[in-house]
């Protein structure tokens, strides 16, 4: 009997007609639902099943389960598993629902209804391998004991996994781990395996996981979404057979290992993502977004949604990947994806994560604070200025080494409760549209920086992303304007995707743009300005805020002691006004410095409007900025004498105003001294602020300062003129000469003189142990020495002076740090980190750097150079001059093909660009065709016209080697040496006839086997070996004429392509061996753009090269760096050097 197999849904297994009944000799009873027919083993009986028939009929229409959910309906697809339902959007049309039912019934096998349904992805598509690093030592963990409840849970879970085919028993495994049981929220147990040891032995898979934020934003603009979840995720991918037992783990029931990829392996996520990217390569980014085992089908219309679902199901079926029906929802507007709620209106926080924080009790231990911080991090995209709001309870973990050190402060409790209130009103985020201009708000306090990225939506602004972070210790000391610039640079790095794809408008009241355009004040700002220059950033002053969402960013810079309560922005200092009962005085000051002298002028205006004018002549040299400070200090003294309590000062020096307002940082010592004095004087007033005004609005003070800066005997008597003979900071300079108390010696001196020690026991014990090596002699601290008399203790600044004097002073010999340290100790000096101080001083010594020895080790890894096919890439070079030969030739022009090693050479009397062009045309182009690349040195014959123009015309790419680095064109350099050695050997002492010997040497090289590819250049060019003269004198088979000679030659031509491919493989293998050997001697040196370097004087010849000449010259600044070790340099005045320089000729320069 012949049956036709049909793919169709039916309640029946087989349909037979009367001829088949006759052939079977069957008896049919429709009353009893039975068929009987004879077989060799007896009578066979087939009975009908009414239960299966009813179930089949019911399966034709999925049952709708009553569910109170107003958004999602629950459908039963498989009647055998009624508890497993899929979700379907209630808002879908009836026609769409009907078609969706048909799709479900046709693809029931796409879902896994029980573990046995999950047979796994075929190995041809994916399998997980453990690429254990060779010679790694296998680790067998000792079996850990567990409580009865955990042990029972492990055995039950293993039994389920064995039945599902995910786990099997292991025999004699070399790697063994232990299971770890984690309790779920429903009080059941989840089994994990501690694969720590095997993970350490495996290298990291570099396959990247997608960016989560990018996947979330990609769902914007699609009203219909289907959220799918893979059944048991990683377990759908099989382990490689040879790696299964490396996943072995202990249980009370024995040792088992995984046959399917388990959770917890190092590269499991990369393997899974790689598979998903491969199978959904045609849909990814268009109709579906995939992140590991989470899938979202996105559609704009119901019709396209049905097509996308069918396509996705077909793809899953081809890969034999199963879905979990209970976690699949189709045709809805919102759902959970990658930890957030994706909705029609935007992106909302996961309510479960918000509720988890709100329900938390106040932390009592450091671990609970860490748990709180971990939960908040998952919500940081929605939290405006999160680090400012959480700083108080994060701060409780500082200096918390032991459990007893933890203190939950009242401030932390208040911040925690305010955070809970804020979590109840988290905003909905939006996704930016293509090409849309985004707005960035910045804020900084003394301990954190924050940013808010916004998008305009009608009359309001909607948030796109909030970011913030705690400042590092050194960053807290940045000036306020630099902290604001740091917030911008952090935002550009953290939100790089938005900065790359959108114009960014920074809204700020601070002079951020001016500071970044002229970053001379700080090297950090210069670096940041270069980094920000790659983005489309504009700056805009603040206007009215378009929503309560960004109320936290009303204040950009918050001052110390003025932190506002959580949720309420502080008022910036510059906008504060004096109290109503304080009468404000106005002070206008100006300073002038010229060749005739320096003077200052000031105008002090009382609250009633009375003016006091004052002029002072400075009988000491000052700069303009120093005279501006003197003017302000003099004005403050007069204001204090007038018993003013509130002063508003106006200066026309932007530098002075910004230094006082902490916008600029004072770098010079004189500016620091003036700034400290002004800070001390302003504390005498109840209210003080300084503002910058244009010089045109400060005419009176300006005129007074100019009058006082010249001879003043003729000045009007109503203007009071005084003479100041020394700077106002003179007293400060005297005080700074006394010993600073806060040095490393202070605690030891205090302990030795008074016996006072720190309150902490561990610190007190350490101090006592340390003080035993010190003693007080004549009121000064000395350290006992093991080698001689006690050594005088000095501070770091004096120690630096001692090192510098010994190293480069009158008796200095520029010795190394060890010798300098020993000499300082012999001289009787001591301070901590002596060797480190000496090393730092010597590292920055200009003379030592210029005379440092030149390393002969390679500075960069070997980069093999190859050619894809004969005559594509040529190296060309000029050798000579040689002794004059026939035709007055004294130079040799050499070219070599990188693939076949075929050499062309021509003697020349002169070396001009025209001669190079002629040689390339006749010997390369006319014989072998137009090449793709010509490699040469930087000689003007190659780099300038007419050769350069000729190469451009023929579209030949010119590649130039770095200056004084012939290894970059090593192929032709090797050919040069071989040709010269061959000519010298043939000539003997007759040097003048070298040009006549050139053809013989060239022929020898063209017919010689090359070690790199094992062939002769002649055979790779013409397809057969050439006949050499020796074969004429001593006959070989090739000299005997045969009938098949021509056929053999034609056969060789047919096999030439294969021969060339074999030669290329041999050469690649040979170069790999060379590379491995060469790289063992490499001491890699890498320079970054912006760093200063010195050049080898031997290579650059920029300075005298006599015995007394320097080994290095410079410095130069690196502007560009390539991966091949070549660097573009510029002089300190900004002039760019014309050619690149290799790292082997460069050395880092320190200032």
3-state secondary structure 102-161: HHHHHCHHHECCCHHHCCCCCCCCCEECCCCCCCCCCCECCCCCCCHHHHHHHHHHHHHH
Q: What is the pLDDT of residue 270?
A: 92
Same domain, 306 and 213: yes
End-to-end CA distance of the chain: 96
Place of tokens 């001697």: 1081
Residues 424 and 442 in one domain: no
Residue 1025 CA to residue 56 CA, distance in Å, equals: 78
CB 685 within 8 A of CB 596: no
Which of 38-52, 266-280, 366-380, 854-868 has the largest mean confidence?
A: 266-280
Indicate the residue among 683, 709, 733 that finishes a domain: 733
Q: Which of 1012-1021, 1035-1044, 1089-1098, 1137-1146 has the lowest mean pLDDT?
A: 1035-1044
Residue 641 main-chain phi, psi, to 5 deg: -65, -30
Q: For residues 1124 and 861, what is the distance between their CA atoms, to the nearest angstrom?
A: 8
Among 46-50, 540-544, 788-792, 926-930, top mean pLDDT goes to 926-930
| CA 244 to each of CA 172, 258, 259, 571: distance values in angstroms, whole numbers, following the listed order | 12, 6, 6, 64
Cα separation, 675 vs 1004, in Å, equals 81
More confident site: 1036 or 489: 489
Range of the domain at 799: 746-843
Q: Are residues 719 and 709 in the same domain?
A: yes
Is residue 733 pLDDT above 60, yes or no?
A: no
pLDDT at 561: 36
In this prediction, residue 700 carries a pLDDT of 66
Residue 1066's nearest CA partner among 1140, 1149, 1010 is: 1010
CB 287 within 8 A of CB 275: no
Q: How many CB atoms lie within 10 A of CB 1116?
A: 24
Mean pLDDT of 339-355: 88
CA distance 615 to 617: 7
pLDDT of residue 655: 80
Q: Looking at the domain assignment, is residue 184 inside a domain?
A: yes
Q: Is the peptide bond before 17 cis (omega within 30 degrees of 0)?
A: no
- Tell whether 385 is covered by a domain: yes
Q: How far apart are CA 972 and CA 905, in angstroms?
A: 11
My answer on whether 419 and 446 are in the same domain is no
Quickly tell me which residue has 């190469």 as its tokens. 951
* pLDDT number for residue 174: 92
pLDDT digits (tens, 9 = 90+) for 611-623: 888 778 777 777 8
DSSP bridge partners of 593:
598
Among 484, 482, 493, residue whose Cα is nearest residue 442? 484
pLDDT band at 1113 (very low <50, low <70, confident <90, very high): confident
Indicate the pLDDT class of residue 712, thresholds 50, 70 and 90: very low
Count helices and strands in the chain by DSSP H and E runs: 39, 46
Question: Has residue 597 got a pLDDT over 90?
Answer: no
Of how many residues is the chain composed?
1151
pLDDT for position 309: 92
> What is the CATH classification number for the domain harbouring 598?
3.30.420.10
Beta strand pairing call for 438-444 and 347-349? unpaired
* pLDDT tens profile 132-157: 998 889 999 999 988 888 999 999 99
Model pLDDT, residue 697: 67
pLDDT category of residue 62 using cuts at 50, 70 and 90 = very low
What radius of gyration do the chain's Cα atoms show? Answer: 42
Residue 567 maps to a domain = no
How far apart are alpha carbons 943 and 949 in whole angstroms?
A: 10
Tell me: do 880 and 944 sit in the same domain: yes
Residue 251: predicted pLDDT: 92
Q: Sort residue 427 into left (φ over 0), alpha (ψ -120 to 50) or beta.
A: beta
Half-sphere exposure of 862 (CA within 13 A, CB side): 18
Q: What tokens does 764 get? A: 């007190």
pLDDT (tens digit per residue) in 1034-1073: 666 566 666 666 776 777 777 777 777 887 787 877 777 7
* For range 1110-1139, the mean pLDDT: 81
Mean pLDDT of 787-791: 80
Picking from 189, 194, 180, the residue whose alpha carbon sits closest to that of residue 247 is: 194
Q: Give percent above pLDDT 90 in the chain.
A: 15
Give the residue-averaged pLDDT of 288-297.
90
The C-alpha atoms of residue 356 and residue 342 are separated, in whole angstroms, by: 19
Q: What is the pLDDT of residue 942?
A: 84
The verdict on residue 76 lying in a domain is no
pLDDT of 1023 > 90? The answer is no
Structure tokens at 651: 């200066």
The partner residues of 1121 in beta bridges, in order of sequence, read: 1127
Q: Decide if pLDDT at 710 tops 80.
A: no
Residues 714 and 772 in one domain: no
Q: In 319-365, which residue ranges form alpha helices assigned H by DSSP?
A: 351-358
pLDDT higher than threshold 50 for residue 422: yes
How far does Cα 695 stand from its chain's mean position? 46
| Residue 189 shares a structural domain with residue 284 | yes
125 with 251, same domain: the answer is yes
Which residues 6+ apart lie within 8 Å of 933 measured at CB?
872, 873, 874, 956, 957, 958, 959
Q: What is the CATH number of the domain that holds 309?
A: 3.10.10.10
Contacts of 674 (CB under 8 A, 6+ apart): 626, 629, 633, 728, 729
What is the distance of C-alpha 24 from the center of its chain? Answer: 76
Domain annotation covers residue 3: no
Helix (H, G, I), strand (E, B) or coil at 527: helix
pLDDT at 274: 92
- Are residue 294 and residue 369 in the same domain, yes or no? no
* Winning range, highest mean pLDDT, from 48-52, 515-519, 836-840: 836-840
pLDDT surpassing 80 at residue 627: yes
| Host H or E run for residue 746 | helix 746-754
Q: Is residue 264 part of a domain?
A: yes
Count of domains observed in the chain: 7
The neighbour count for residue 858, using CB atoms within 10 Å, is 19
pLDDT band of residue 992 (cuts 50, 70, 90) is low
**Share of residues in the chain with pLDDT > 70 (%):** 85
- What mean pLDDT comes out for the span 883-889? 82
Q: Provide φ and ψ at 46, rounded to 5°.
A: -120, 120
pLDDT at 244: 93
The CATH number linked to 1100 is 2.30.30
Q: Which long-range contacts (CB under 8 A, 24 or more apart) does 883-886 make?
A: 883/991, 883/992, 883/994, 884/992, 885/992, 885/993, 885/994, 885/995, 885/996, 886/993, 886/995, 886/996
Whether 415 and 527 share a structural domain:
no
Q: How much is the mean pLDDT over the chain?
A: 81
Residues 492 and 443 in one domain: yes
- Look at residue 859 in the predicted model and tell me its pLDDT: 65
SS3 (DSSP) at 529: helix
Is a pLDDT exceeding 90 seen at residue 662?
no
Q: Does residue 270 form part of some domain?
A: yes
Last residue of a domain, one of 797, 826, 843: 843
What's 500's domain CATH number? Answer: 3.10.20.370
pLDDT(735) > 50:
no
Mean pLDDT throughout 704-723?
A: 51
| Rounded average pLDDT over 50-64 | 47
Residue 719 CA to residue 827 CA, distance in Å, equals 60
Q: How far is CA 160 from the centre of its chain?
A: 43
Are both 924 and 1053 inside the same structural domain? Answer: yes
Give the C-alpha separation, 14 to 691, whole Å: 96
Domain assignment of residue 12, yes or no:
no
Which position has the higher pLDDT, 575 or 973? 973
pLDDT band at 55 (very low <50, low <70, confident <90, very high): very low
562 touches 592 (CB < 8 A): no
Per-residue pLDDT tens for 378-420? 888 888 888 888 888 888 887 676 767 788 888 888 888 888 8
pLDDT at 40: 84
Minimum mean pLDDT among 36-50, 969-983, 1012-1026, 1038-1052: which range? 1038-1052
Listed residues 733, 758, 774: the one ending a domain:
733
- pLDDT at residue 750 in the model: 85
**Per-residue model confidence (pLDDT) at position 1032:** 67
Q: What distance in Å separates the CA atoms of residue 640 and residue 259, rounded to the nearest whole number?
A: 85
Residue whose entry in the numeric block shows the structure tokens 């200066």: 651
Q: Render the burial of 644-682: b for 16+ CB within 10 Å, e for the rest.
A: bbbbbbbbbbebbbbbbbbbbbbeeebbebbbebbeebb
What percentage of the chain's residues is helix, strand, coil (to nearest 5)?
40, 20, 40
Burial of residue 372 (CB within 10 Å: 0-12, 13-18, 19+) is: buried
C-alpha span between 955 and 957 (Å, rounded): 6
- Model pLDDT, residue 565: 33
Q: Is the pLDDT of residue 726 over 80?
A: no
pLDDT tens string 229-258: 998 878 899 999 999 999 999 999 899 999
């Amino acid at each position: 009997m012949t049956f036709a197999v049909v793919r169709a849904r039916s309640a029946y297994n087989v349909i037979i007609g009367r001829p088949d009944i006759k052939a079977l000799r069957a008896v049919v009873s429709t009353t009893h639902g039975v068929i009987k027919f004879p077989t060799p083993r007896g009578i066979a009986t087939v009975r009908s099943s009414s239960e299966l028939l009813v179930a089949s009929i019911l399966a034709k229409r999925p049952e709708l389960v009553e569910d109170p959910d107003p958004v999602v309906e629950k459908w039963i697809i498989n009647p055998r598993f009624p508890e497993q339902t899929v979700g379907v959007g209630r808002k879908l049309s009836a026609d769409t629902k009907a078609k969706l039912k048909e799709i479900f019934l046709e693809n029931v096998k796409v879902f896994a209804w029980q573990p046995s349904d999950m047979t796994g992805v075929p190995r041809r598509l994916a399998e997980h391998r453990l690429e254990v690093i060779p010679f790694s030592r296998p680790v067998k963990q000792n079996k850990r004991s567990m409580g009865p409840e955990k042990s029972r849970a492990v055995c039950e879970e293993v039994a389920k996994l064995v039945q599902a085919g995910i786990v099997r028993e292991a025999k004699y495994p070399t790697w063994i781990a232990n299971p770890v049981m984690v309790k779920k929220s429903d009080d059941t147990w989840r089994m994990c395996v501690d694969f720590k040891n095997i993970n350490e032995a495996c290298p990291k898979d570099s396959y990247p996981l997608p960016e989560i934020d990018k996947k979330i934003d990609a769902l914007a603009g699609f009203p219909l979404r289907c959220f799918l979840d893979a059944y048991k995720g990683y377990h759908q991918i099989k382990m490689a057979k040879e790696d299964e037992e490396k996943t072995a783990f202990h249980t009370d029931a024995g040792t088992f290992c995984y046959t399917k990829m388990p959770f917890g392996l190092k590269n499991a996520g990369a393997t899974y993502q790689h598979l998903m990217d491969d199978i959904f390569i045609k849909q990814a980014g268009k109709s579906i977004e995939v992140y590991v085992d989470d899938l979202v089908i996105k559609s704009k219309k119901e019709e396209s949604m049905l097509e996308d679902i069918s396509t996705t199901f077909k793809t899953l079926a081809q890969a034999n990947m199963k879905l979990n029906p209970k976690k699949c929802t189709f045709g809805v507007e919102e759902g959970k994806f990658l930890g957030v709620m994706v909705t029609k209106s935007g992106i909302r926080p996961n309510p479960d994560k918000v509720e988890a924080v709100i329900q938390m009790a106040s932390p009592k231990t450091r671990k609970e604070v860490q748990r709180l911080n971990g939960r908040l991090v998952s919500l940081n995209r929605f939290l405006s200025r999160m680090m400012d709001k959480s700083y108080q309870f994060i701060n409780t973990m500082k200096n918390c080494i032991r459990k007893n050190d933890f203190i939950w402060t009242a401030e932390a409790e208040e911040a925690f409760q305010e955070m809970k209130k804020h979590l109840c009103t988290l905003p909905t985020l939006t996704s930016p549209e293509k090409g849309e201009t985004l707005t960035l708000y910045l804020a900084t306090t003394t301990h954190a920086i924050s940013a808010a990225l916004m998008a305009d939506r009608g009359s309001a602004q909607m948030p796109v992303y909030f970011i913030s972070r705690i400042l590092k210790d050194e960053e807290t000391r940045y000036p306020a304007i630099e902290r604001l610039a740091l917030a911008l640079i952090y935002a550009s790095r953290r939100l790089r995707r938005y900065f790359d794809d959108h114009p960014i408008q920074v809204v700020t009241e601070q002079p951020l743009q001016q500071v970044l355009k002229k970053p001379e004040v700080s090297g950090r700002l210069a670096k940041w300005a270069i980094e920000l220059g790659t983005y489309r950033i504009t700056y805009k002053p603040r206007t009215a805020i378009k929503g309560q969402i960004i109320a936290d960013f009303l204040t950009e810079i918050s001052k110390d002691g003025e932190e506002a309560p959580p949720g309420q922005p502080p008022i910036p200092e510059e906008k504060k006004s004096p109290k109503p009962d304080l009468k404000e005085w106005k002070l206008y000051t100006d300073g002038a410095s010229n060749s005739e002298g320096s003077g200052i002028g000031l105008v002090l205006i009382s609250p009633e409007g009375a003016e006091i004018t004052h002029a002072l002549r400075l009988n000491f040299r000052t700069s303009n900025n120093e005279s501006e400070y003197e003017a302000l200090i003099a004005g403050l003294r007069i204001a204090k004498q007038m018993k003013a309590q509130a002063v508003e000062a106006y200066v026309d020096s932007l530098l002075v105003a910004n230094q006082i307002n902490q916008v600029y940082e004072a770098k010079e010592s004189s500016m620091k001294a003036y700034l400290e004095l002004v800070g001390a004087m302003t504390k005498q007033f109840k209210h003080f602020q300084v503002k910058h005004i244009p010089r045109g609005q400060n005419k009176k003070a300006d005129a007074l300062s100019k009058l006082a800066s010249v001879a003043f005997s003729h000045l009007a008597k109503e203007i009071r003129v005084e003479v100041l003979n020394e700077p106002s900071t003179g007293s400060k300079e005297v005080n700074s000469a006394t010993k600073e108390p806060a040095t490393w010696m202070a605690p030891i001196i205090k302990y030795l003189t008074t016996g006072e020690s720190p309150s902490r026991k561990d610190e007190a014990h350490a101090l006592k142990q340390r003080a035993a090596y010190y003693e007080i002699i004549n009121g000064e601290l000395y350290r006992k020495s093991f080698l001689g008399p006690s050594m005088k203790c000095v501070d770091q600044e004096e120690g630096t002076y001692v090192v510098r004097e010994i190293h480069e002073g009158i008796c200095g010999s520029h010795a190394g740090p060890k010798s300098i340290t020993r000499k300082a100790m012999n001289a009787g000096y001591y301070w901590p980190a002596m060797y480190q101080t000496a090393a730092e001083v010597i590292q920055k010594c200009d003379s030592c750097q210029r005379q440092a020895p030149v390393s002969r080790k390679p500075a960069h890894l070997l980069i093999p150079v190859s050619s894809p096919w004969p005559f594509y890439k040529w190296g060309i070079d000029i050798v000579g001059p040689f002794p004059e030969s026939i035709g007055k030739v004294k130079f040799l022009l050499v070219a070599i093909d990188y693939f076949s090693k075929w050499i062309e050479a021509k003697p020349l009397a002169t070396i001009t660009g025209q001669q190079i062009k002629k040689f390339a045309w006749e010997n390369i182009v006319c014989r072998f065709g137009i090449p793709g690349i010509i490699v040469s040195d930087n000689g003007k014959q190659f780099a300038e016209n007419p050769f350069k123009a000729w190469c451009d015309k023929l579209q030949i790419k010119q590649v130039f080697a770095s200056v004084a680095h012939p290894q970059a064109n090593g192929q032709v350099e090797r050919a040069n040496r071989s040709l010269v050695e061959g000519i010298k050997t043939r000539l003997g002492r007759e040097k003048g006839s070298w040009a006549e010997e050139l053809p013989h040497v060239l022929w020898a090289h063209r017919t010689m086997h090359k070690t790199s590819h094992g062939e002769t250049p002649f055979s790779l060019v013409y397809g057969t070996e050439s006949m050499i003269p020796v074969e004429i004198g001593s006959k070989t088979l090739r000299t005997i004429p045969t009938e098949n000679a021509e056929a053999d030659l034609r056969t060789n031509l047919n096999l030439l392509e294969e021969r060339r491919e074999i030669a290329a493989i041999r050469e690649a293998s040979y170069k790999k061996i060379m590379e491995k050997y060469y790289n063992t001697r490499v001491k890699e040196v890498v320079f970054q753009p912006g760093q200063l370097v010195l050049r080898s004087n031997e290579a650059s010849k920029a300075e005298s090269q006599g015995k007394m000449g320097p080994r290095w010259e410079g410095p130069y600044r690196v502007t560009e760096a390539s991966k091949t070790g070549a660097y573009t340099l510029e002089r300190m005045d900004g002039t760019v050097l014309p050619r690149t320089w290799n790292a082997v000729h460069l050395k880092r320069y320190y200032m």
